[in-house]
Each structure stands twice: as structure tokens, then as C-alpha cells.
Amino acid sequence: MSDVKTDAPADAAPEPPKKTTLSITVDGRAHEAQPGQLVIDACEDAGTYVPRFCYHHRMNPVGMCRQCLVEVEGPRGPMMVVSCMTPVAEGQVVRTETPGVKRAQEGVLEMLLANHPLDCPVCDKGGECPLQDQAFSHGPGESRYVEEKRHYEKPIPISDLVLLDRERCILCDRCTRFADEVAGDKLIHFISRGNATQVNTFPDEPFASYFSGNTVQICPVGALTATPYRFKARPWDLTQVESTCTTCAVGCRIVVQGSRDQLLRYQGVDSDPVNWGWLCDRGRFNFEAVNSDQRLGTPLVREQGELRPTGWSEALARAAQLIREAVDAGGPGSVAVLGGARGTNEDAFAWARLAHDVIGTPHVSAQLGDGMPVGLLALNRATIDEAASASTIVLLGPDLKEELPVLYLRLRDAAEKRRSRILEFTPKPGGMTRYAWKSIGYEPGTQVGAVHAALANDEIAQQLGAGNVVIVAGRANLAETSAAQVAALGELLAAVPGAKVLPALRRGNVVGAVQLGMRPGKDGMDSRAALAAAADGTVECLILVGSDPLSDVPDADLARRAMAGARRIIAVDALPSPSTALADVVLAAAAFAEKSGTTTNLEGRVTTVGQKVTARHTARPDWMIAAQLAAALGTDLGLESEADVLAAMAELNDSYAEISAAALAAAPDGVLAHVPTTLDPINPPTVAVPDRNSYDFRLVVSRKLYDAAVGTAHSPSLAHLAGGATIHIHPADLDRVGAADGDSVKVTSKRASGVFQATSDTTVLRGTAWVPFNQPGGTVGELIDATAPVTDIRIENL
């Protein structure tokens, strides 16, 4: 059509502006619809809800259930059409309430219910079930079906987390489409045909998708149920509050639901700029950790070597005393504050005030030697939407599927729908590799060269020059310092000056924490340096704000020496960890959903988190602990309520100047904080990386979605999903060391040596070896030296 000529005379009067909408009529009312829209959505915009089962606006329509039939005026009179498959057209006349439509809707419902067990009283979905609701609103009320119904064994597990009652399934294709289109994990499928059709997996190959819980949420009947929620509550007993998942930095919008002061479920909320309604299973199901009986409910103080419960006044006095002793002995710089990324903005802000202004130490860090220099957050920041609509998305960071799962969904969608091309640089091919336009594997430490070579390639240079470029940047490997990664990023930014950067930092509120001051002050040490100083005794007092160096810091020996060297340790936490076990004072913190406030996701979007349940025993929010500790140290921070903290944040921090309760209430998708102007952008260092001896392997260590992190470890439904810490090696390399899959091998780095089980893995690059970090029983941290640019290891067959 593009070459059709219009013969408008050259000097014609300027045309009136083109109408960009399509005029349609819905049940006699005029409505302007968007071009390309489906009739079902246009009707909804016009105020008429058309009943539906299979249609879901985040997935392709399939016309599977026929519940959405409406009449559209056609050349030969009214026609019955499937409104989820029919696009709007200029002048279209749609009727949704005619006797014909009513009969069709009743007919479809009668047919769907013919094979349905109608076991609503024992079905988890009852009370929030589209089938139940629409049977009432649009059904015939009677069934003519008197024959025997189908029977299946019920329920069958299709994964560790999802159960399927096949007789309830109405074959709407939502779960299967989700698995295919949205998650890219085509592990469930329609099996068989006709009356025997059912959803199922391949025998003995479960629906082990990181996103499986979404199918439970979108199933329009009770066919899919989640094991952590099944038979726990009835929907009408639940109350809910809107919130944001802070398990990782994507910041998916959720509702937190509970009953009788207990958390029962999180459901995804469709936030257009962020998660589109989807959640990962880790974020969805780790509410169990909040309910855990291991929770710290009261403060603890160490007495004669043992931690014993105590009241807040004693605990705060002890903590204040420890801080004063350290300051008296070595000045404010002998205190270091690590953490703050697991809490709210309010928590981080109050702790930053306490650390910098009250204690006066510059040694503050929200990252634990596993992140990036804070200058990353001073770069020209991209939003998720900008990344997902860029012509080129450059990945120079962690495996997004493992670390920022819903960001992976958004970017995968961009690649699959051909909006964007993904150019990936990675030391270990991962979840996004199969969707990448080009995936460039590099050996750790050589990323600068890899970027350099790529930029010299005409095709890549042309692609990068052709449109918007967003670089998703973060730490891809914990067995090397961030130096080479930063240098590679610098190289890219120099070549593509207009590129925007989306920080791929993982911890829930790490961006908020850094922006609100949980970062090194003038001459302050980052966490690696601070831990080293603790190890040699120059830092006397370590304050751990929701951080666990013994699990989180890649260099295990450094963490251990720091915890042993620090004479005074104060831990603020909601759950016990190896590090709280060594603390002198443990201050019991309120967990997620036990406090309200705000959080900042990786793009800088500030959204609310809501309180659903009362905090465990006397546990309290981190910000309140900071304020009380400040008071015990003789300073009134003037923070009495969470609202005070929010107001102070807006007043004292330029990035948050426009954030207020009113602004957030008016913007359910949140408000973008400004990129901080007080931070210096990263400074690409020059890196000297030693060559690898050809007998050695270069180590890659990165995170998996399920690991030994506290939230996962204390969620019984998730804990067992963490795999083992085996060492993955390319089969040809495995041959070279004379070992086979499953053998035990001896792994030696400059630091230490240990025995690992070997896994043959074709995705691992030749000459490298990969071990997942922080797995139950894993010891890979022993091999890592936090100061070494890379970690080379020797692998020997035992």
C-alpha cells in the first residue's frame, strides 16, 4: 500500500489534522477506539465488559473459548464475531446485549460447565473465579447435561509449585500460551485431542519454569493451584494491600494478601512500565520467610559468649555503647556500616543519616563486594520501557533470567517481538543467549578486548549507530573485580555516547539505598576495603544492616577474617544468618509486609510498599531502629514516623525532591526519582589482567535464582529448589583433565583448594569453569580473592 499515490493538488489548503482514532458504536454509544485495538478491549474502554476466558491482554488472542461473542453490523446484517479476535474498524457497530448474544453466551457457558466438576466449595478459586462469576452473570442457570462427567486423578503436580486438577480445566490455553509466549519455557502443552484434551507436561519432565506461579494467577478456573497457598484460605477472607516486591531490583508491583494477621499470598499487579502483571516464583512465594518460625522477634545481646533475648532499651544502649567505644578508640572511621539494600527507602535514608551524620563515618556501603561502583548510578539512566524499545539492547552484566527475572521477561519480549536486537557480552552463556542477535562470549578479564573487537565489526557498528542503544550493565562474574567490567562499559559509552544505561544490580532496594546515602562518603571505603580494615583491626565496629557478609561477600576468607577481626558487631536483621550468629547485638527488624514505605527499583522508579501484618513480637522497621540508635547516641534525627522520613528524604535529597505521599498516591506505577547529581560517574580504570596459563581454567561465579539467600532458605516451598554447587566445565575440557560428568575433582586457586563435583556443560566456554554462587553447602567463595582481577584455577581429577 505504501506506493499508492494520492493526487492531492500541490497547492491544496492544509488538511485538518488526521483523526488518529476510529469511531465505533458500542451498544448504541459512540466511542473512539485506538487503531489496531481488538473489539473486546474497545468495548471495555467504552464501559462494557465482554465476558471472556481465554483472552488476556498481555498475550496473543487465540479465540479458544468463544465466550466473548458479540454482534457486529456487517454488509449482510448483524454477524456474531469473536470479539477477542476482531480488530476495530471505522464505523463499526457493536452490540453486546442482544438476545442472540445472550443465547450464545449462555450456550458457551452451558457447554463449558457440562464437563466441569462444579466442586466450587472445595476449590481454591471459588470466590475469585471467572468461571464462577461469569456463570452467574452470563450463564443460563440450568444445565441439560445429565450424563456422567469426566474424571481424572486429582490433582497432579506439574511442578514442585503448581498442581493441576484436570477436570476443572476449560482448555483456555492461557497457561500454555504463557509458558510459550511470555516465559519461553514450553514445558506444558495440550496433550491428546477432543474430549480427552488436557494440559500436561512431558512424562517426568516438570514445568520447572521460574515463572510457573503466573499460570496459577491467570488460570480462569481452579485448575491450577499453587502448593504454598492451596487450601490455606478462601478469597473472601483475604484482605490486601498494594506493594512492591523487593526481592530483587526489578520492583514488580504486587498485592500482598493475608488473613488474620498472617501472610498468605502475593499476586502480580499489572504495572505497564514494570512487570506487566508477571512475577517470578522466588518473589511470589518467598512470603513464607516472613511467616517463618525462625524469625527474630526480639533483640539479642551477647553475654558470656551466648546471644540472649533482651528488651529494646538494653539492646539499643549496648549498641550505642559499642559504637562509642569504637569511636573513642579510633575515631568515627573505625565504624563501618554495610547493607541497607534489603529495606525501604525510609530505612536506607535513616541509616545513612545515622552513619554519616551522627556517627560520622564515611565507610558506608549498600553493596557487598558483589556489585558495581556506585558511579554506575550517575550515568544517563534508562527506564525498563526504554530498554525494551531500544533498537539495540547491549547486555554487559549478569544473567538476567537468574538475577532480575521479570526484566528478563520484558527484554525477551522485546527481542521476540522484533522491536530490539540484543547484543550480549557474557563470560557464561545464559538465559538470554538464545534470544540474542549476537552473543559474544569472553573469558573473564578480557571483556574490554571483546567490546573493542565487536565495535570494530561493521555490522555491529552499524547496528549500534542505527537507533537507540540501552546498555544493561552489572557484575557478570563474582570471581573477578568489577574493574574490567567497568572498563568495558566505558569503552562502549565512548563509542556510543548517546547510549543510556540500565543498572543491573540485584538487591531489592540497592538503587534506593545508594541514592539515599548508603554509599561511601568522602574518602570512604567500599565494603571490600572496609572488610579488609575490619580484618586487620582498623575498623573496630561493623554494623550490618540486613546484610550477611559470610554469605553475600564473594571472598569467603575476607568475610571470615573481617567478622573475626571486628571487635564489635551490630546486626540488624529479620532472620538469623551466619553473620548474626557472630554479632554482639542483634536488633530485630520488621520484615517485608510488616512495614510500609517506599522503594526504588533499578530504573529509579519509586513505588510504595505496604504493611499487611504486624511485625513479629517487638521487631521494628530499620528506620526506627536507626532513629532510636541515634537518640541513644544523643542525636535526635527528628524522625518519628515513616511520613517524617519521606518528607525529610524529599527535603534533603535532590533525587527524591518530587516524591511525596500525594505524588505516589496519584501515580500507581510510581514516580521516577532523578538521577543523582552528587555522584561522580564511574571512571573507567585501566586494568592489567594476567594471561591465563593454558593448563588453568578461568573461574566464572554467578548467581542462580534459587540459592541459600535467607528469603529462599526460609521459604520451605523454595528452599529445595536451590541446586548444588558443582563445577561446570565444557565436555572437551573435562576430557582434557581426564574426568567425566559427576566425578569429583580437586580445584585449586591461589587462595585455596577444594573438592567439587564436576558437571559436563556445553554452555560453558572452553578454558573457563563456572560455579553457581551461594548454593547450600557450596564453598566456591573460598577460591576467590576479592582483590585479584581474575581467578585462575587448576582442575585435577581425583
Partner 1 sequence: MARLTDANVVVAKEIIARFPRPKSALIPLLHLAQEQDGFLANDAMAHVAELVGVTAAEVYGTATFYEMFKFERVGRYCLNVCTGISCHLMGAWELLEHAEELLGVKAGSTTEDLLFTIEGVECIAACTEAPAVSVNHRYRYRVTPEDMDRLIDDLRHDRLGGEFPAHGVLARVRQRTPDNWAGTGAAAQQAVDAR
Q: In angstroms, what is the minimal distance from the CB of 262 to ligand SF4?
A: 20
Q: Judged by CB under 8 A, which stretch of 191-199, 346-354, 450-458, 548-556 contacts partner 1?
A: 191-199
Nearest to 173 by CA among 65, 57, 52: 65
Q: In angstroms, what is the minimal distance from the CB of 173 to ligand FES?
A: 9
Residue 157 found at the interface with partner 1 (CB under 8 A): no
CA separation for the pair 519, 786 (Å, rounded): 19
Interacting partner of 82 out of ligand FES, ligand SF4, partner 1, none (Cβ under 5 to 8 A depending on kind): ligand FES
Of the pair 63, 309, the CB lying nearest ligand FES is at 63
Interacting partner of 656 out of ligand FES, partner 1, ligand SF4, none (Cβ under 5 to 8 A depending on kind): none
Binding mask 458-477 for ligand FES (x = CB under 6 A): --------------------
CA separation for the pair 666, 26 (Å, rounded): 30
| Residue indicated by cell numbers 502480580 | 268
> Which one among 101, 129, 187, 583 touches partner 1, defined by CB under 8 A?
187
Main-chain dihedrals φ then ψ at residue 646, nearest 5 degrees: -60, -45
Number of residues that bind partner 1 (CB under 8 A): 17
Q: In angstroms, what is the minimal distance from the CB of 189 to partner 1?
A: 3
Q: In angstroms, what is the minimal distance from the CB of 38 to ligand FES?
A: 9
State the alpha helices, DSSP H only, in 684-761: 710-713, 716-719, 731-736
Binding mask 63-102 for ligand FES (x = CB under 6 A): xxxxxx-------------x-x------------------
Pairing, β 335-339 against β 541-545 = parallel
Nearest to 490 by CA among 457, 542, 532, 448: 448
Residues paired with 606 in a beta bridge: 600, 671
Binding mask 403-442 for ligand SF4 (x = CB under 6 A): --xx------------------------------------
Residue 174 found at the interface with ligand FES (CB under 6 A): no
Compute the 3-state secondary structure of the chain and give helix, strand, coil in percent, each to the nearest 5: 30, 20, 50
Pairing, β 300-303 against β 306-309 = antiparallel
Provide DSSP, 141-186. Answer: S-----SPPP---S-EESSSSEEE-GGG-----HHHHIIIIIS---
Amino acid at 453: A
Cis (ω within 30 of 0) for the bond into 121? no
Query: How many CB atoms are located within 10 Å of the residue 193 CB?
Result: 7
Enumerate residues 186-215 that contact ligand SF4 by CB under 6 A.
199
Residue 190 found at the interface with partner 1 (CB under 8 A): yes
Q: What value, to the nearest 5°, has the Cα angle with vertex 395 and ends 390 and 401?
A: 105
> Which one among 49, 136, 145, 202 touches partner 1, defined by CB under 8 A?
202
Nearest to 439 by CA among 452, 427, 457, 456: 427
Interacting partner of 193 out of ligand FES, ligand SF4, partner 1, none (Cβ under 5 to 8 A depending on kind): partner 1
> Which one among 141, 194, 305, 634 touches partner 1, defined by CB under 8 A?
194
Residue 189 found at the interface with partner 1 (CB under 8 A): yes
Residue 173 found at the interface with ligand SF4 (CB under 6 A): yes
Provide DSSP, 624-669. Answer: HHHHHHHHHTT------SHHHHHHHHHHH-GGGTT--HHHHHH-TT
Of the pair 14, 194, the CB lying nearest ligand FES is at 194
C-alpha separations of 635 from 316, 320, 331, 353, 629 in Å: 14, 11, 17, 11, 9
Residue 151 found at the interface with partner 1 (CB under 8 A): no
Here the cell at position 688 is 592489567
Residue 282 found at the interface with ligand SF4 (CB under 6 A): yes
Residue 186 found at the interface with partner 1 (CB under 8 A): yes
Q: In angstroms, what is the minimal distance from the CB of 470 to ligand SF4?
A: 18
Residue 512 found at the interface with ligand SF4 (CB under 6 A): no
Residue 109 found at the interface with partner 1 (CB under 8 A): no
Residue 338 found at the interface with ligand SF4 (CB under 6 A): no
Pairing, β 188-191 against β 198-201 = antiparallel
Please, what is the angle between helix 130-138 and helix 99-114, to 10°? 140
Q: In angstroms, what is the minimal distance from the CB of 186 to partner 1?
A: 4
Residue 710 found at the interface with ligand SF4 (CB under 6 A): no
Interacting partner of 245 out of ligand FES, ligand SF4, partner 1, none (Cβ under 5 to 8 A depending on kind): ligand SF4
Contact status, residue 410 vs residue 384, Cβ threshold 8 Å: yes
Enumerate residues 246-265 that contact ligand SF4 by CB under 6 A.
247-248, 250-252
Q: Judged by CB under 6 A, which stretch of 149-157, 219-227, 513-521, 532-540 contacts ligand SF4?
A: 219-227
Interacting partner of 332 out of ligand FES, partner 1, ligand SF4, none (Cβ under 5 to 8 A depending on kind): none
State the alpha helices, DSSP H only, in 423-518: 447-455, 458-465, 483-495, 510-515
DSSP 8-state secondary structure symbol assigned to residue 314: H
> Which one among 196, 662, 666, 688 touches partner 1, defined by CB under 8 A?
196
> Which one among 81, 111, 191, 664 touches partner 1, defined by CB under 8 A?
191
Q: In angstroms, what is the minimal distance from the CB of 215 to ligand FES?
A: 17
Using DSSP's 3-state secondary structure scheme, residue 21 falls into: coil
Interacting partner of 187 out of ligand SF4, ligand FES, partner 1, none (Cβ under 5 to 8 A depending on kind): partner 1
CA separation for the pair 512, 449 (Å, rounded): 33
CA separation for the pair 261, 612 (Å, rounded): 7
Q: What value, to the nearest 5°, has the Cα angle with vertex 389 and ends 386 and 393?
A: 85
Binding mask 3-42 for ligand FES (x = CB under 6 A): ----------------------------------------
DSSP 8-state secondary structure symbol assigned to residue 353: I
| Residue indicated by cell numbers 491482554 | 57
Q: In angstroms, what is the minimal distance from the CB of 220 to ligand FES?
A: 9
Enumerate residues 132-171 that contact ligand SF4 by CB under 6 A.
169-171
C-alpha separations of 241 from 271, 347, 670, 798 in Å: 15, 20, 15, 55
Residues that bind ligand FES (CB under 6 A): 52-55, 63-68, 82, 84
What are the residues binding ligand SF4 (CB under 6 A)? 169-175, 199, 219-221, 223-224, 245, 247-248, 250-252, 275, 279-280, 282-283, 405-406
